[in-house]
Amino acid sequence: MKFSWSETILWLSILSLTVTMSAEFISDYIGIDAWTILYFGIGLVAIAVFLIVLKFKKKK
């Protein structure tokens, strides 16, 4: 299986959206503060955006 940056960015975006949207449910199930889970989802979005910026910066 070949590594693909576009698939990585896609999966990071899907995972971060899922974590961010269901932070309250995850918080109730696990017992961790909901804000911590939201920050984790935002961090995943930041990594995805960073990878997109790096991808376009390499093309120039």
13-46 pLDDT tens trace: 999 999 999 999 999 999 999 999 999 999 999 9
Could you give the angle at which helices 34-59 and 23-30 cross, rounded to 10 degrees? 130
DSSP class of residue 3 equals -
Which one-letter DSSP state was computed for residue 34? H
**Alpha carbon distance 14, 22 (integer Å):** 12
Q: What are phi and psi of 31, to 5 degrees?
A: 100, 5
pLDDT band with cut points at 50, 70 and 90 for residue 56: confident
pLDDT tens digits along 24-33: 999 999 999 9
pTM of full prediction above 0.85: no
